[in-house]
Structure 1
Amino acid sequence: MKRWRDSSFRAQVKSSPMVARLYQILRLLVIWVMIAQFFNGNFENVFLCILTLILFLVPSFIERKIQIDLPDTLEVIILLFIFAAEILGEIRAYYISIPYWDTMLHTLNGFLCAAIGFSLLDILNRHERLSFSLSPLYLAIMAFCFSMTIGVLWEFFECTMDVFFHLDMQKDTVVNTISSVMLDPNGGNVPTAIHNITDVIVVTADGSEIPLGLGGYLDIGILDTMKDLFVNFIGAVVFSFIGYFYVKSRGKGRFARRFIPQVLPETPSSEPKK
């Protein structure tokens, strides 16, 4: 477990060489991609690279400011998650070219957010100045709720970007059957289905028709959002289950300990008292 207070890179290498070297490798890769994107004129991707470099600093910043120790396993996964989401997913278009890339990241996000939410409550639960004690089941439920809340807020963000900035963060899905009460020929509240849809024709304001040629109807992000929330749910349930038995065994679980931050002990001040 790391016990360093010095924020220098050399100190981090001594205390956690694997994390420090991984950070250095990922940072060099991001800088290389940023230079390439700059010369290609993709300035939006340059901004994503800068954002990625900033996000890489968040784990060590949290450790120094809140005086907690992030386990090496958790820190490695966070760094790889950021790189996979921003550089590989967005810039290298893995969200499009590799099936289930987005699903994998959302599942992992649910797992990590549950771990973070669990650790926040567990740290408070172990604090000597607090007079209440939370049961393992309550901690597990709150960790699950925290993870799902983060997942919902992220979907809100994706929807906002799509509506106001015309992005496609909520990836569209091609379906061959739709059902809606708006298709009821009698104008009632009866869902009416259309099956075996093979194409959709868009009619513009000037009357021109544009066949989409997608092989079906274009669902605008609803199924993708529900899928993201469902896999987030799976990740949250998995860690909440693990966290429950971790607290039940009084912190003896080795696997859960790799993902739960710990409060660092107070170090005596070197300054003489006045």
Structure 2
Amino acid sequence: MTGNTDHKKPDRITRVHLWVGRILLIVVGLEWIYLLTESQWLSLFVVSLLLIVLFIPIIFRKRLQVDIPAEFHLTAVIFTFAALYLGEVQHFYQRVWWWDIGLHASAGLIMGIFGFLLIYILNESKRIDIHLTSGFIALFAFTFAVSIGTIWEILEFTIDHTFELNMQKQMMDDPSGLTDTMWDMIVNAGGAFIISMSGWMYLKSAKNYFVREWIKKFIEKNPRLFSR
């Protein structure tokens, strides 16, 4: 990284981000070695995805010259760790009844934030001459999050039928897994709706809400992407 901001003392969230990243890197790295020695290839693949997420800021900074704020990456890391490592590898989906529902609701929130930020960047970029209304930006964020949730359900269905797993949580009273799939999509859409409406209110009135500071930090770290 370059610039004067590199010499500033890291704030609290940045320090938390660094320590959480280091701890998870050790835990996930040891798990990766164990799974490799035990030839548990599917779990090894899942843990490898988590390792990629841990290194995303470095990849984005070097390849795309995009600096990801600590809040964004910390949220993504915690979610991915809960979904992939705890959920799939440590079987929390079977051990904790609300784990799947909670993560899909969180996914709607996170993908809504990402979709909102993505279209906001395009709307403010110097390189792309488009001017979108606040309503359209909010609608895009909602549909983006719902689309990602739908793609994930398709992926679960495909993996279950290819590798004979149970990512769709098929039960005795619902052997098709349809009930689990529908609830996943409903709570995902609910999370996306909350973020989209929050973003719309921010654009219309500039009132403060919990995502505003995240967006401001992203803009401050990547001024070249924005026209103002």
TM-score for both structures, normalised by structure 1: 0.70
Cα displacement (A) at 1:38: 4.3
Q: Does 1:86 align with 2:44?
A: no
Structure 1 stretches lacking a partner, 5+ long: 176-217, 267-274
Higher percent of residues as helix:
2
Tell me, in whole angstroms, the C-alpha distance in 2 between the residues paired with 1:230 and 1:93.
Answer: 23
Which structure 2 residues correspond to residues 114-133 of structure 1 after superposition, within 5 A? 114-133=112-131
How far 1:116 moved relative to its partner? 0.7
Q: Which has the higher strand share?
A: 1
Verify the 8 A CA contact 1:72 1:258 in the aligned structure 2: no
Superposition CA RMSD, Å: 2.6
Shift of 1:74: 2.2
2:145–2:192 CA contact under 8 A, matched in 1: yes
- Given the alignment of the two structures, is residue 264 of structure 1 paired with residue 222 of structure 2, yes or no? yes
Equivalent-residue separation in structure 1 for 2:78 and 2:69 (angstroms): 14
Q: 1:249 to 1:129 in 2, by over 3 A?
A: farther
1:70 counterpart = 2:28: no
Which among 210, 216, 223 is matched to residue 255 of structure 1? Answer: 210
Name the count of aligned residue pairs. Answer: 217
Retained in 1: the 8 A contact 2:32–2:44?
A: yes
Match of 2:22 in 1: 24
Q: Percent identity?
A: 31
Q: Does structure 2 conserve the Cα–Cα contact (< 8 Å) formed by 1:171 and 1:221? A: yes
Structure whose alpha-carbon radius of gyration is higher: 1
Gap change, CA 1:111 and 1:245, over 3 Å in 2: same
Instruction: Mark the runs of 5 or more structure 2 residues left unpaired by the alignment.
Output: none
Matched residues in 1 for 2:212 and 2:57: separation? 17
Report the Cα offset of residue 117 of structure 1: 0.8
2:135 equivalent to 1:137: yes
Report if the CA contact (8 A) 1:56-1:82 is conserved: no
Query: Per the alignment, in what secondary structure is the counterpart of residue 172 of structure 2?
Result: strand
Instruction: Output the CA distance in 1 between the equivalents of 2:170 and 2:204.
Output: 43
CA distance in 1: counterparts of 2:9 and 2:164, whole angstroms: 43
